[in-house]
Amino acid sequence: MPDTHSAATPAIPRRALVTGAAGFIGSHLAQTLAQAGTTVIGVDRRDPTRDQTAATNLAPLHGLPGYLHITADLLNCAIDPLLFDADAIFHLAGIPGVRPSWGPQFSEYVNANILATQRLMDAATRMRVPRLVVASSSSVYGPTNGGPSTEGDHPRPASPYAVTKLAEEQLCLAHASRADCSTSVVALRYFTVYGPRQRPDMFTHRALHAALTGQPLRLYGDGHQRRDFTYIDDIVTATISAARAPIDTGIVNVGGGSNASLLDVISIAKSLAGREIHIHTDGTRNGDVLTTRADPRRARSVLGWQPTVDLTAGMRAQMDAMTRPAHQSAA
Ligand code: NAD
Ligand code: UGA
């Protein structure tokens, strides 16, 4: 099992703001930073006294010295005070689902992923925060021929969500290019992240849940979709490294460069849980690409990053976290 949160971490910021800190990736990042000695302010609009997922994600952060959590919406809260003396912002707040972005919910994606980001970049500029790391997405590449996606590839986002993520990263980079902005931006294109606390709408969680409970798994398409699955601890390491990357770093893929199919994930989940999975096949979903695969060379050269956790070990850690009693869920 991967040794969660004890892997060698790169040089850390002294004081940082983590947005989306009650979410899957944000809570892990905030925890690792605070445990390593960074003074962290975490902000999220989900209220952990009313939202069980936020409460569960934030539980390991309770009582960590140097961690302060604030429930606030970046669309309307006063952001400047959160940035006082910060040397880095990790911007993970956003609405992340690919398939629900069609239809009336699109305005929420625009609000969270674009308008809130605009407010944050304005505040970062005013407060002269030297670095902002923004969570972008492999989905900006859209359909590929199966080969690795390189940061210089022409983006062809295939879902409304992906369009907002492309707008978000480009908006941050546009602000950073202003003569009066001293905030440099690193945009990380994360590839399908999994591990403990993964969002319950995501496939790895659903496959493990089906294997553990015997409830059916809904499979969109034939299961031959492939993803460059990236383990949460590896994502956190890359993200922290990005705070110290050279000023002109720009866009970096965070994915290992290989991929696995949904059928592979199902087979690993079955063997880890020792139980069959009942599959309900459904139609393919609009905006869902067949394959993602990162070209990892920039991450290696600019961030000194490479993944350390393979899919079976990572899924075992995720399953262990799903079966652990809530009061023991430090991972
Ligand atoms: P998540 O939903 O678990 O976390 C996002 C958090 O942002 C939530 O807790 C939400 O309440 C918060 N948030 C949204 N809008 C906000 C606002 N206006 N003000 C304050 N808080 C707000 O999602 P996640 O999987 O942890 O993803 C985090 C980020 O990484 C997202 O930007 C997502 O697009 C990006 N990303 C995720 C993946 C992945 O595989 N999980 C891959 C690529 C990119
Ligand atoms: C994931 C994250 O959810 C996005 O936030 C992120 O931006 C994106 O990765 C990324 O890499 O940038 P996705 O790859 O669609 O998006 O991940 P899942 O939601 O886990 O879906 C993976 C595959 O499983 C998709 O083909 C989907 O259709 C399928 N799926 C998902 C099912 O067959 N059944 C389900 O119940 C859920």
Q: Enter the DSSP assignment of 285.
A: P
Q: What is the pLDDT of residues 26-52, one digit of tens each?
A: 999 999 999 999 999 999 999 999 999
Tell me if 244 CB under 6 Å of ligand 2.
no
Judge contact between 190 and 24, C-beta under 8 A: no
pLDDT bracket for residue 11 (50, 70, 90)? confident
pTM above 0.95, yes or no: yes
Sequence-ordered list of residues with C-beta below 8 angstroms from that of 302, at least 6 positions apart, any chain: 245, 246, 249, 252
Q: What is the pLDDT of residues 264-291, one digit of tens each?
A: 999 999 999 999 999 999 999 999 999 9
Query: What are 102's two structure tokens?
Result: 């069609």
Q: Kindly list the catalytic residues.
A: 161
pLDDT at 232: 98
- Percent of the chain at pLDDT exceeding 90: 94
Ligand 2 atom showing the smallest separation from residue 194 Cα: 20
What residue ranges do the domains of the chain occupy? 15-329
Tell me if 42 CB under 6 Å of ligand 1.
no
Q: Apex CA 13: angle with CA 12 and CA 18, to 5°?
A: 110
C-alpha 4 chain-centroid distance: 16
pLDDT at 154: 98
Q: Phi/psi zone of residue 144: left (φ > 0), alpha (ψ -120 to 50 degrees), beta?
A: beta
Q: Is 200 exposed, middle or buried (0-12, 13-18, 19+ CB in 10 A)?
A: exposed
The β-bridge relationship of strands 260-261 and 226-227 is antiparallel
First-to-last CA distance in the chain? 11
Q: What is the pLDDT of residues 287-325, one digit of tens each?
A: 999 999 999 999 999 999 999 999 999 999 999 999 987
- The CATH superfamily of 15-329 is NAD(P)-binding Rossmann-like Domain (3.40.50.720)
Judge contact between 99 and 285, C-beta under 8 A: yes
For 162-197, the DSSP string reads HHHHHHHHHHHHHHHTSTT---EEEEEEE--EESTT
Tell me if 203 CB under 6 Å of ligand 2.
yes
For residues 294 and 289, what is the distance between their CA atoms, to the nearest angstrom?
14
> Which amino acid appears at position 259 of this protein?
N
How far is the centre of ligand 2, averaged over its atoms, from the C-alpha of 287 (Å)? 10
pLDDT at 327: 61
For residues 103 and 327, what is the distance between their CA atoms, to the nearest angstrom?
39
Nearest CA to ligand 1 atom 3: 23
Tell me if 287 CB under 6 Å of ligand 2.
no
